[in-house]
Structure 1
Amino acid sequence: MTNPTHSVTLLTRAGCGLCVRALDQLRGICADFGIEPGAIDVDEIASTNPALRAEFGDRLPVVLLDGREHSYFDVDESRLRADLS
């Protein structure tokens, strides 16, 4: 069953090939749960939230599930599917 209370967000930056691949993968996974993943460019948001780029900027892409770090560099598909179930 779907749980609409979950949120999935990808931290990314322009020009990041891994980020593009991760977002495509997330869209496919999240579609199975009725969720639209969001994306935040850590460089664009740095003026209002510099801590986000400071914490995650050196290991993008980062998948956040419900605002907490779930995986980075690669989408952990089996774990994400289990956590969304």
Structure 2
Amino acid sequence: MVHTVTLLTREGCGSCVRVHGQLLPLCASAHARLEVVDVDRAGDPELAAEFGDRLPVVLVDGAEHSCWEVDDDELSADLAAPEPFRGWD
């Protein structure tokens, strides 16, 4: 399975830039797709309202995986899983 990692960001967010740099090699080694979405430019006010005050947020297969910080080992393990990531129970 090819996982999709979505990084929710906003312009001027230094932590977003740091996490983006962190995700690049992790996604490359897992052969995962990496998408970057600026919540202010996505044209979806609900997206900005839901995530705008806690960026950066990382989604895996559409489910929230991380907020503010990313644990490399945890994300790598989830990207190695054969099934879609469904979020934390």
- State the TM-score, normalizing by the size of structure 2: 0.85
Q: Counterparts of 2:63 and 2:31 in 1: how far apart (Å)?
A: 20
Which residue matches 1:69? 64
Query: Which aligned pairs between 1:5-84 and structure 2 lie closer than 5 A?
Result: 6-45=3-42, 48-84=43-79
**Matched residue of 2:8: which SS?**
strand
**Matched residue of 1:32: which SS?**
helix
Q: Percent identity?
A: 55
Deviant stretches of 4+, over 2 Å: none
Segments of 5+ residues of structure 2 without an aligned counterpart are: 81-89
Amino acid at match of 1:78: D
* C-alpha RMSD over aligned residues: 0.9
- State the TM-score, normalizing by the size of structure 1: 0.88
Amino acid at match of 1:7: T
Amino acid at match of 2:36: A
